[in-house]
Amino acid sequence: MQQKFSLQRILSLLKKSNIVSKIEIISIDEIAGRSVYRIRCSLIPSKYKLEVKFIKTEREFIYSYQLFTDKPIIRWDNAPHYPDIRTYPHHFHDRNGNVIESDLKGIVIDDLNIILCSIKKMLR
């Protein structure tokens, strides 16, 4: 699914979240036909971090949202390596290492809202 991508809208949504305490742009690499963005957020409580990664080309949009401390905890992504999952290529890696269906669709602002809400519930 191709979509209009707005780094400013993403940063604005993260800034408005009451679980995000700090936003760090790790990298922005924009060259002809390909863009890569990595953003790391410190969360409340402070031991948690969220890393957001997007790769956008003329033909595809790849994402990854990973919650971690000193090690990975959970991750949503759409790397095309679980074709048997109903929501393929969208999938979720849970705390126990299971890979299951995901509610994400590859629509950045909608998906980021889902992720922030899910993390907020988990951290309560």
Residue range 51-106, pLDDT digits in tens: 999 999 988 999 999 999 999 999 999 999 999 999 999 999 999 999 999 999 98
- Is the residue at 88 inside a domain? yes
Q: How far apart are CA 56 and CA 62, in angstroms?
A: 6
Q: What is the DSSP letter of 107?
A: -
Structural domain includes residue 1: no
| β-bridge pairing 99-101 and 61-68 | unpaired
pTM score: 0.92
Residue type, 59: R
Domain hosting 16: range is 7-123
Q: Is 66 within the bounds of a domain?
A: yes
**How do residues 33-43 score in pLDDT, each as one tens digit?**
899 999 999 99
Read off the tokens for 117. 């809400």
Q: Please report the sign of the dihedral spanned by the C-alpha atoms of residue 33, residue 49, residue 74, residue 108.
A: negative
**Is 19 inside any structural domain?**
yes
Task: Give me the number of domains the chain comprises.
Answer: 1
Tell whether 2 is covered by a domain: no
Residue 106 belongs to some domain of the structure: yes
Taking the C-alpha atoms of residue 110 and residue 102, their distance in angstroms, rounded to an integer, is 13
